[in-house]
Amino acid sequence: MSFSFFKPSRPKTPPEVAKAIKDSLNALDTKTVAEVKALEKAMEEVEKNFVTMRCMLSGDGEVEPNVEQVSQLALEISKEDVISLVVHKLPILGWEARKDLVHCWSILLKQQVDSKYCCVEYIEKHLELLDFLVVCYDNKEIALNCGNMLRECIKFPSLAQYILNSASFVLFFKFVELPNFDVASDAFSTFKDILTKHASLVAEYLTGHYDEFFDLYEKLLTSSNYVTRRQSLKLLSDFLLEAPNVQIMKRYILEVRYLKIMMTLLRDSSKNIQISAFHIFKVFVANPNKPREIKIILAKNHEKLLELLNSLSGKGAEDEQFEEEKELIIKEIEKVSRLQSLKS
């Protein structure tokens, strides 16, 4: 004869999980924060509910997630305003809860219900959540979690477009130079995704904010921080040479100030920076419609430029192509330096 004193607890349904998460997050209010024991209990409840959410969304290692339950949970989390709650409560969540949340965030955003990304649509109606996540880079305790969540959001064009055009976007120019290396690196990863994931959106943004953007970007290229200079130069090459940005590039290579920056970076003590600078510098030189001011700068500095270029060599497999390009640029500089029209 077997005796059963305890019945196994019935697994929660998606609506129950969403409500439990909502209730436990709401318990983390200012009154609770003042009562240490009550706060600890509330935190434990949040963590327990996040684990339940994680298991429902991605399985427990033995049982695969139920596709219908995953979709229903994403829908319920949107309907119950849980997305807004988890973002705003991030600063007071514990490490484990934040880790589970970041894992679940990626899955939730990708869920489609009736061909619609319900969680993405929720964020589209509450765009201030994106501003909140950006500003969280100022809080080093949660900066990396927020960075992960932002990069998931940026995969969706509507959310990336909002960040690009928001007042908070310019904060990235500060965040990428924060003294905490991990936070600054993460901010740069997010900054890079914003500028490279959706080329047509970026082209539209740069067209409308050309002066403002490149004035700020110039400070990154001339930063005293080696990592900032190297990363920003590489990123500039990545997005400036994209086909949708061809008009932006054509405008950029007409400006003497930006040519001078590349010439300065060609003299950098880092070979990596020198080579990255060359790949942008060569576009200034190869431009068949160089303004007179650009030609004058190249002619006046041709001896130093030729000396620099002759001492510059590529890396590994790129050597042959690099040498060919360098040879063409050297010839063009020599040709410009001989122009009689510039000597008058």
Could you write out the three-class secondary structure of 189-241? HHHHHHHHCCHHHHHHHHHHCHHHHHHHHHHHHCCCCHHHHHHHHHHHHHHHC
- pLDDT for 1 equals 45
pLDDT bucket at 316, cuts 50 / 70 / 90 = low
Region of poorest pLDDT, from 15-19, 306-310, 340-344 = 340-344
- CA–CA dist 109, 206 (Å, integer): 27
* Tens-place pLDDT, residues 223-253: 999 999 999 999 999 888 888 999 999 999 9
What separation in angstroms does the CA of 166 have from each of 159, 161, 169, 171, 172?
A: 11, 9, 6, 10, 11
* Tens-place pLDDT, residues 193-225: 999 999 999 999 999 999 999 999 999 999 999
Which of 279, 330, 284 shows the shortest CA–CA distance to 306?
Answer: 330
- pLDDT for 313 equals 83
What's the rounded mean pLDDT across residues 66-74?
93
Domain 9-124 architecture: Alpha Horseshoe (1.25)
**Average pLDDT over all residues of the chain:** 91
Which of 203, 101, 196 shows the shortest CA–CA distance to 155?
Answer: 196
**Residue reference for tokens 């050309």:** 210
Taking the alpha carbons at both ends of the chain, their separation in whole angstroms is 111
- pLDDT for 330 equals 95
What's the rounded mean pLDDT across residues 83-111?
95
pLDDT bucket at 5, cuts 50 / 70 / 90 = very low
- pLDDT for 9 equals 64
Tokens of 320: 């042959």
**Residue reference for tokens 């990592």:** 227
Q: Please tell me the pTM assigned to this model.
A: 0.91
- 59 vs 61, more confident: 59
**Residue reference for tokens 């989390």:** 77
Which of 114, 18, 9 shows the shortest CA–CA distance to 57?
Answer: 18
Q: What are the domain boundaries of the chain?
A: 9-124
**Residue reference for tokens 């620099």:** 308
- 58 vs 340, more confident: 58
187 close to 172: Cβ distance less than 8 angstroms: yes
* Burial track 103-136 (b if 16+ CB lie within 10 A, e otherwise): bbbebbbebeeeeebbbbebbeeeeebbbbbbeb
* Tens-place pLDDT, residues 242-300: 889 999 999 999 999 999 999 999 999 999 999 999 999 999 999 999 999 999 999 99
- pLDDT for 37 equals 78
In this predicted structure, the answer to whether residue 95 has a pLDDT above a threshold of 50 is yes
Region of poorest pLDDT, from 40-44, 138-142, 145-149, 270-274 = 40-44
In this predicted structure, the answer to whether residue 93 has a pLDDT above a threshold of 70 is yes
- pLDDT for 32 equals 60
- pLDDT for 317 equals 57
pLDDT bucket at 12, cuts 50 / 70 / 90 = confident
- pLDDT for 342 equals 74
What's the rounded mean pLDDT across residues 25-54?
83
- pLDDT for 39 equals 80
Tell me which amino acid residue 28 is: L
Please state the φ and ψ torsions of residue 117, each to the nearest 5 degrees. Answer: -85, 90
In this predicted structure, the answer to whether residue 25 has a pLDDT above a threshold of 50 is yes
* Tens-place pLDDT, residues 113-138: 888 999 999 999 999 999 999 999 99
Q: At CA 186, angle to CA 180 and CA 192, rounded to 5? A: 130
Percent of the chain with pLDDT strictly greater than 90: 81
What's the rounded mean pLDDT across residues 135-143?
97
